[in-house]
Amino acid sequence: MIVGVIAALVVVNVLVGQIPGKLDLTQNQLFSLSDQTYKLLDGLQSDLTITTVGKPDNQDPTIKEILAKYAARTRHVALQNIDPERNPGWTRQYDPNNQGLSPGSLVVASGKKYKTIGVYDMYNYDASNPNRQPQLTSLSVEQRVTSAVQFVTAEKNVTLYVLQDHGEQTLDSLGLTTSVGNENYAVKSLSLLTEKAVPADADILLVMAPKTDFTPQDADKIRAYLDQGGRAVILVDLLARDRALPNLAGLLQTYGIDVRSAVVVEGDQNKMAAQNPLYVIPNLESHDILAPLRTNNYAIILPGPQVIQTLELKKRSLRIEPLLTSSSKSWGKMNITNAKTVSKESGDLSGPFTLAVAITDPATDPSRKDTKLIVVGNIQFLSQNLTAQIPGNGDFFMNSLDWLREQKQNISIRAKNLLQMRLTLTNFQALLFSGIVVVLMPLLVLGAGFLVWMRRRHL
């Protein structure tokens, strides 16, 4: 019988090993690809190669397993491993600046186009606490590789123009250059003082909290760009009040909204971060931009956001969709400069408020694209400290860009959380479960044995 059982186990294990399918039982589906990646792979028309740099024995098994999913899905993806010490000629063609490809890096190439992914770009770290070592928080292999596949197979990359000359912040100052570059955006600076118009190759215009107002000519140039089916993200800083920036305010009013000079204070304890009523945790409304954040239970924190009001008099064709809203217990502080308390006072506004909107103005000409805008009454949510600790903040910004360029697959592909969720029990719960395991279950076994003994005794 023992020999028979062992033989059966061997046969079962051999048969199971031949089954091609695998089941991903990890909490965050670390070894599974998203539907958006599968759709991209299914639509590939050109061949590409994903190369792992380094010695074969030193490959990260997690990354190796994820890459195997790409090759298994389509014949257009081939995997290989190259040791740069044995193949220096191969390395030079993908390292023109001679900076060196570190072991563990990836090279995604198709024809003459290629993109390298550094080993540290596939992991996200929390370095917000200077008193401790950076903590590994999430895995972004699929996010980086799928983006690289898009880059090497795309006929044209998206151009993002960042407005300057009005005291705006930059992607560098907010630490967003790498994130934007990883999503295949070609970033350029735009000065409307020297340009007669927004360049024709501008796919998205980014306005990052100007501190001085647009000139009437600047506002007209941006308005003309948007009228032709342009796309823009406009972030309004707390210090840039609408009464001080009439031309910017007039531009926003063209699209049916007004950013009020009112700081939102949250009165709901569950909607404020660190018990600070000025750090608002907004409600995530129903929208493609926010769908993956809701799925992953990601929150967003807005420090001192401003009120965005929809105007009663606006174009009928405009579709204004709230993205982030405050609770009904919030209020808006109107007297920002002289306010001595965050408590609600006479003259303050009553919530709830809209804090971010997505605006669509459908094109009347079928040959043109719809005009689309994202407007947020805050920019501090993109500070490096917050984006490092709150992944939802950075994802919201990147998802907004992807929504503007109509790349829904990118919106849903985000880093997968690696933080371990610990089970925390109260003293009562610990005592209850201990009683069940130590007392109740043995008593049930003894009781069952006693009943069997009684029945047999009376037979």
All structural domains of the chain, each given as residue ranges with its CATH number in brackets, are 27-155 (3.40.30.10), 157-417 (3.40.50)
Task: Give the strand pairing for 331-333 and 319-325.
Answer: unpaired
> What count of Cα atoms within 13 Å lies in the side-chain half-sphere of residue 95?
17
Under 8 Å between Cβ of 301 and 280 = yes
Under 8 Å between Cβ of 392 and 300 = yes
Say how far apart CA 361 and CA 319 lie, in whole Å.
6
Question: What is the predicted pLDDT for the residue at 242?
Answer: 44
Q: Name, in order, each residue with C-beta under 8 angstroms of 190's C-beta and a sequence gap of 6 or more.
A: 161, 162, 163, 164, 198, 199, 202, 205
Question: How many other CB atoms sit within 10 Å of the CB of residue 39?
Answer: 11
Question: What is the predicted pLDDT for the residue at 381?
Answer: 94
Under 8 Å between Cβ of 184 and 147 = yes
Question: What is the predicted pLDDT for the residue at 126?
Answer: 63
Q: Which of 94, 86, 189 is nearest to 148 (CA)?
A: 94
Q: What is the pLDDT of residues 273-312, one digit of tens each?
A: 988 999 999 999 999 899 888 877 788 999 999 999 999 9
Q: Which of 149, 201, 399, 203 is nearest to 296 (CA)?
A: 399
Question: How many other CB atoms sit within 10 Å of the CB of residue 443?
Answer: 10
Question: What is the predicted pLDDT for the residue at 402?
Answer: 87
Tokens of 94: 């993908």
Under 8 Å between Cβ of 122 and 63 = yes
Q: pLDDT tens digits, the chain, 459 residues: what are they?
A: 999 999 999 999 888 777 766 676 666 666 778 777 888 899 888 899 999 998 888 888 888 989 999 998 999 999 999 988 888 888 888 877 777 778 889 999 998 888 888 888 888 766 555 566 766 777 888 888 988 898 888 877 789 999 999 999 999 988 888 778 777 788 999 999 899 999 999 999 999 999 999 999 999 999 999 999 999 999 998 754 445 789 999 999 999 999 988 899 999 999 999 889 999 999 999 998 998 888 777 889 999 999 999 999 888 999 999 999 999 999 998 877 677 788 888 888 998 999 999 999 998 888 889 999 999 999 999 998 888 788 889 889 989 998 998 876 555 566 666 655 566 778 888 889 889 999 999 999 999 999 998 888 877
Name the E strands within 274-341: 276-280, 283-284, 302-303, 306-310, 319-325, 331-333
Q: Name, in order, each residue with C-beta under 8 angstroms of 256's C-beta and a sequence gap of 6 or more.
A: 310, 311, 314, 315, 318, 320, 359
Sign, Cα dihedral of 214, 216, 217, 220: positive
Question: What is the predicted pLDDT for the residue at 175?
Answer: 86
Sign, Cα dihedral of 262, 265, 268, 270: positive
